[in-house]
Structure 1
């Protein structure tokens, strides 16, 4: 899942080396924390959050574990 998120986001940003994805696993959920360069935050979020919503939709559709809910947190 990290590779999927990184491949999507790296094509959007100007500083792909600054992409950091951490994973936190809890009982019923799996949270991915995405951190990008401060100049690239707007590119990842998009106007009215449209790009962020599209990234989350793709990540949620690609989940492999049916028992855990996946969250993507963009910082």
Structure 2
């Protein structure tokens, strides 16, 4: 299976990593390209029985960039993450920590 992001194709080998990790890779790719301090980005994946939560921690000065005006940026990130999760038959929530 492969996904294409900004002319870059990412290959996924079935069964090699958790589905939630694949979604976390997408979220990390998006967030790292939005913030000023890419080294300050970290993700924690919490797998539950029926869904996963991805907690994104960014530098204090980058929280506003990730959330965006009226929450539009984080809403778009969540929409993309949920779309990929739906393709992989799971559900996911994305939370931003400052």
After TM superposition, the score normalised by the length of structure 2 is 0.71
Shift in Å, 1:29? 1.2
Gaps in structure 1 of 5+ consecutive residues: none
Pick one of 9, 14, 19 that aligns with 2:31: 9
Aligned residues: 74
Over 4 Å off, 4+ runs: none
Greater relative CO, 1 or 2 (CA 8 Å, sep 6+): 1
Alpha-carbon displacement from aligned partner over 1:17-67 (angstroms, at most 9, x marks no partner) = 01010010111111100000000000000011000000000000011541x
Gaps in structure 2 of 5+ consecutive residues: 1-22
What root-mean-square deviation, in Å, do the aligned CA atoms of Structure 1 and Structure 2 show?
A: 1.1
| Secondary structure, aligned partner of 2:31 | helix
| Secondary structure, aligned partner of 2:25 | helix
1:27 aligned onto 2:27? no
After TM superposition, the score normalised by the length of structure 1 is 0.91
Pick one of 31, 35, 42 that aligns with 2:64: 42
Distance in 2 (CA, whole Å) between partners of 1:49 and 1:28 is 26
